[in-house]
Amino acid sequence: MRKRIKPSFIGLLVWLVGAGHLTGCVSGQLGKNNSGEYRNGVVVSAKKEASVVGLDILKKGGNAIDAAVAVQFALAVVYPGAGNIGGGGFMVYRSADGRSNTLDFREQAAAGSSRDMYLDAAGNPVVDKSLYGSLAAGVPGSVAGMVAAHEKYGHLKWEVLLNPAIRLAEDGFKISAAQAHELNELKARFVSLNPRGTALLKAKGDWVEGDVLVQEQLANTLRQIRDKGAAGFYEGAVADSLVAEMQRSGGIITKADLKNYKAVWRTPILGNYKAYKIITMPPPSSGGIALLQLLKSVEPFPLKRWGFNRDSTVQVMVEAERRVYADRAEYMGDPDFVKIPEKSLLAGAYIKSRMHSLDWNKATPSSALRAGDLTAAEHEETTHFSIVDRYGNAVSLTTTLNGSYGAAMVVSGAGFLLNNEMDDFSVKPGAPNMYGLVGGEANSIAPGKRMLSSMTPTIIEKEGKLFMIVGTPGGSTIITSVFQTILNVLEFNQKMQTAVAAKKFHHQWLPDVVYVEDGALDSTTAVQLKKKGYVIEVRGPIGRVDAILKTKWGYYQYGADPRGDDAAAAW
């Protein structure tokens, strides 16, 4: 006789609570609840097409790393402004069982580079030399990074992860209004830097929203990578094209530079903010150390009681930012070349002592803080994506060409854009650069060195369990955007989408200005801060955060930044 199964009371309760939380199906899956949260997996990135690629991989049984690899390649096609195979980036990974790791696939200065390579005979930076054309490019790291990530953690076959990007490149995709605008704006530069033409130039007239961008050469390059792995990019026909492009246009990357490039697994930066554990990126990104310094600087203050973006809240956050960015400038660079005093920078007593000089009655002038060196000018057109799979494996990945469309130079015959990441080095250490900023010696150019970054891919745990996956583009505003998004959730109980969309502000020590998005501060807050001597300047969008939050019910909320075309795909 079959045994009757008695439903346990607890089991029934759990089921009822869960069922009350469910509305039904997404693509036939019981994955979505009536709050628009998902339980089986989420991909949130700068472009819907790329998020959909990632979700398809998850549905095929791929894990978060598989999806990340597929999204990175898809973004290289559908988001050429920052998605890339000719750039680099950083990834923070946390497996479902709580182990974490970080991957550095940052670009590297070519062996032929030198400290003063962007200076004229008088020792001044040559305008645009580190920004456009092949000399602006570091040795790309993205393909090596994706291969390393897949080799260590991937589950699906490599080719399965490349095929969606290849299809998007050969069939084309519809460009957005923002992309049409960007491509038209860059037309003259594309024409002058790409005498052999590029798919990014429309044959006739201007680009308009909905035009289909087909990238055949890029599709061929992706096929090489699919069929030969890293060798399909760093050796053979693609490497030949890249080196030929260098030789044609005065660049210095050689075949040896390409062959020698390695992505590096690095120990994550770990720290706590109240009950939360922060897992974030170590150098050569400054992001992780700076984020933890910021969080620890404000931790003793009652932000929650003061309230979201009230004057005391903004003041203490700005004063923390001023101090942390001064440190960043002086101490940070590639850890394989310079010794970074990580322990000292993160010591509780040190951070507390830095905040001692905070004066509630007036702004601390940046000139009164230790005058160190500040980073080279940073560009904001990076891109970030966050992924969680059904098992709870999580990826936070930020990747970049540096400037929008990088060096504006597409490798002829290979169809991919070169980065202009060399501009993230201090082009002229110790003196103001062409943007009026001062560069630090720790971040000076040297062969084989990785340029300092602000990218801050981050994962947060609560009570030992996955809680948040977060990151953003935004150059020097990356760190402060991640900082604010985290506090918006942890202190001000905002939902993930609200926290991402919330207007942001930013201070980076020098210039001594609080940059704000229009409407970030209400008039009372702004008046209070101005009275204390803060210079407030409204600027364009700050950050483009794509993030995921796990609720106590085990569902995932996402935040796709409305400042861009960003979108999530979830089930």
The gap from C-alpha 528 to its chain's centroid, in whole angstroms, comes to 33
Closest distance to ligand GLY from the beta carbon of 403 (Å):
8
Closest distance to ligand GLY from the beta carbon of 204 (Å):
34
Q: Which of 107, 311, 327, 424 binds ligand GLY (CB under 6 A)?
A: 424
Q: Could you say whether residue 420 binds ligand GLY (CB under 6 A)?
A: no
CA distance 267 to 257: 25
Sort 537 into a burial class: Cβ within 10 Å, 0-12 / 13-18 / 19+: exposed
Residues numbered 437-456 forming contacts with ligand GLY, rule: CB under 6 A: 453-455
Q: Which of 81, 429, 475, 559 binds ligand GLY (CB under 6 A)?
A: 475
Judged by beta carbon, residue 226 or residue 379, the one nearer ligand GLY is 379
173, 279, 362, 436, 491 from 299: Cα distances, Å: 46, 17, 21, 33, 10
CA distance 254 to 142: 17
DSSP β-bridge partners for residue 317: none
Sort 430 into a burial class: Cβ within 10 Å, 0-12 / 13-18 / 19+: exposed
Residues numbered 386-415 forming contacts with ligand GLY, rule: CB under 6 A: 400, 402
Which residue bears the tokens 């076959």? 157
CA distance 501 to 44: 14
Residues numbered 340-369 forming contacts with ligand GLY, rule: CB under 6 A: none
Region near ligand GLY per CB under 6 A, out of 47-55, 157-165, 377-385, 528-536: 377-385
* Nearest residue relative to ligand GLY (C-beta): 453
Region near ligand GLY per CB under 6 A, out of 54-62, 165-173, 220-228, 375-383: 375-383
Judged by beta carbon, residue 31 or residue 287, the one nearer ligand GLY is 287
Q: Which of 241, 297, 382, 399 binds ligand GLY (CB under 6 A)?
A: 382
CA distance 415 to 242: 10
| Total chain residues near ligand GLY (CB under 6 A) | 11
CA distance 62 to 83: 21
Judged by beta carbon, residue 232 or residue 564, the one nearer ligand GLY is 564
Catalytic residue among 221, 375, 382, 472: 382
SS (H, E, C) 394-425: EEEEEEECCCCCCCCCECCCCCCECCCHHHHC
Q: Which of 379, 428, 450, 507 binds ligand GLY (CB under 6 A)?
A: 379
Q: Could you say whether residue 283 binds ligand GLY (CB under 6 A)?
A: no
| Cis peptide preceding 335, ω within 30 of 0 | no
Q: Is the dihedral of CA 82, 85, 90, 93 positive or negative?
A: positive
12, 14, 25, 264 from 30: Cα distances, Å: 18, 16, 5, 39
Q: Could you say whether residue 129 binds ligand GLY (CB under 6 A)?
A: no
Residue pair 458/289 in contact (Cβ under 8 Å)? The answer is: no
DSSP β-bridge partners for residue 38: 32, 556
Q: Which of 182, 321, 334, 378 binds ligand GLY (CB under 6 A)?
A: 378
Binding mask 518-537 for ligand GLY (x = CB under 6 A): --------------------
Residues numbered 231-270 forming contacts with ligand GLY, rule: CB under 6 A: none
Closest distance to ligand GLY from the beta carbon of 88 (Å):
8
Judged by beta carbon, residue 33 or residue 453, the one nearer ligand GLY is 453
Closest distance to ligand GLY from the beta carbon of 553 (Å):
35
Judged by beta carbon, residue 38 or residue 105, the one nearer ligand GLY is 105
CA distance 361 to 363: 7
CA distance 500 to 558: 9
Closest distance to ligand GLY from the beta carbon of 281 (Å):
11
Judged by beta carbon, residue 165 or residue 482, the one nearer ligand GLY is 482
- Token pair for residue 397? 């990945």
Closest distance to ligand GLY from the beta carbon of 382 (Å):
5
Q: Is the dihedral of CA 230, 231, 233, 239 positive or negative?
A: positive
Q: Could you say whether residue 297 binds ligand GLY (CB under 6 A)?
A: no
Judged by beta carbon, residue 285 or residue 557, the one nearer ligand GLY is 285
CA distance 170 to 221: 11
Main-chain dihedrals φ then ψ at residue 95, nearest 5 degrees: -80, 165
Judged by beta carbon, residue 32 or residue 563, the one nearer ligand GLY is 563
DSSP string for 366-402 = GGGS-----PPP----EEEEEEE-TT--EEEEEEE-S
Which residue bears the tokens 């300092």? 452
Judged by beta carbon, residue 307 or residue 448, the one nearer ligand GLY is 448
Judged by beta carbon, residue 104 or residue 378, the one nearer ligand GLY is 378
Region near ligand GLY per CB under 6 A, out of 5-13, 131-139, 376-384, 537-545: 376-384
The SS3 call for residue 37 is coil
Closest distance to ligand GLY from the beta carbon of 407 (Å):
12
Judged by beta carbon, residue 220 or residue 444, the one nearer ligand GLY is 444
Q: Where are the beta strands (DSSP E) in 419-498?
A: 458-462, 465-470
CA distance 279 to 460: 6
280 catalytic? Reply is no
Binding site for ligand GLY (CB under 6 A): 378-379, 382, 400, 402, 424, 453-455, 475, 478
Catalytic residues: 382
